[in-house]
Amino acid sequence: MPREITYRQALNEGLDEELAHDDNVVIIGEEVAEYNGAYKVTEGLWDKWGDKRVVDAPISEAGFIGMGIGASMLGIRPVMELMFYSFAYVAFDQMMNNAATCRYMSGGLLNCPIVVRGPANGGTNVGATHSHTPENIFANMPGLKVVSPATAYDAKGLIKTAIRDNDPVYFMESTILYGETSEVPENDELESGELIVPMGVADVKREGTDISLIAHGGAVITCLKAAEQLAAEHGIEAEVIDLRSIRPLDEATILESVVKTNRAIYVEENKPFCGVGAQIASMIQEKVFDSLDAPVLRVTSQDSPALYSPPLEKLQIPYPEVVINKALSIC
């Protein structure tokens, strides 16, 4: 029988396997060791691997992220956990100016194989300072890779790929997805012996013919729910494309889908101004304009700080009905 595990368990398995695969892999972050992680992603790893492989850090993102970047230049492969990706701003100089440029500035002599992971989402009523979705900001910087998996399968496969990559990979998760389950095969069921998902390869999560719903992270689940309702209530078959990694970006899969369906909506929990969807919409318009039967539309969070009120925040972040109404407007 195929097994289903949670997104949280999938990340834990991937981290455990990489700690076993390479002695240079270490996990560093606030409460990742004895407390088993703020979201229990690192549960049991400190007990298994000890103080030198799973390390609690002080509440100083600028300090421990900077330390991890330096360590990565010397051959360590640190996996740094941020309790919220909103706190990445505290370490912005290290993450953007140092990690992203060290290979270029050293003429290829230095790599920076660091992974910075943690939740980048709103919707949990923790206020404006704890609800940022900065994937578009980091994706803007050459030298960085940005990953945002939507399922347990992709979370496990991509965390392993990210750890083995020689560039900085900023791995953005979702607290809302941590408890969601999906099918993840056991390693002995795989011909390769392990689950690896490459970066830069999007996934068609649902086949369709009438419209392409393109998304990343938690918005993929929103699109899948909207697609099922569009089919059941309106006879519209939506294709759902999951970017999985934002940079590198799989342009070919996106464009192939739009050429087939002739309509596209990008859905994201990011803000609209300079968002990932703006880049995707521009790319579609530039490269397959003649295939479009309607404008490329976007569904985003409302352009304001994250609201603290639970009922209001539910309306601020994209939900299936908003996607459905947008789709109906161009179908």
Both tokens of residue 304?
A: 């304001």
pLDDT recorded at residue 82: 97
Residue 130 is among the residues annotated as catalytic for this protein? yes
- Name the nearest CA neighbour of 151 among 195, 183, 124, 122: 183
pLDDT recorded at residue 237: 98
Both tokens of residue 49?
A: 């691997």
pLDDT recorded at residue 1: 58
Catalytic residue among 61, 173, 268, 313: 61
| Whether the domain at 4-189 and the domain at 203-330 fall into the same CATH topology | yes
pLDDT recorded at residue 331: 95
Q: What share of the chain is helix, strand, coil (3-state, %, to 5)?
A: 40, 15, 40
CA atoms within 13 A on the CB side of 123: 20
d(CA 175, CA 181): 13
pTM of the predicted structure, to 2 decimals: 0.96
Catalytic residue among 13, 17, 30, 130: 130
d(CA 158, CA 244): 8
CATH tag for 4-189 (out of 3.40.1580.10, 3.40.50.970, 2.60.260.20, 3.30.1360.120) = 3.40.50.970
Contact 256, 120 (CB under 8 A): no
| Domain residue limits, the chain | 4-189, 203-330
pLDDT recorded at residue 328: 98
Fold of domain 203-330: Rossmann fold (3.40.50)
Q: Which residues of the chain have pLDDT under 50?
A: none
Neighbouring-strand partners of residue 78: 26
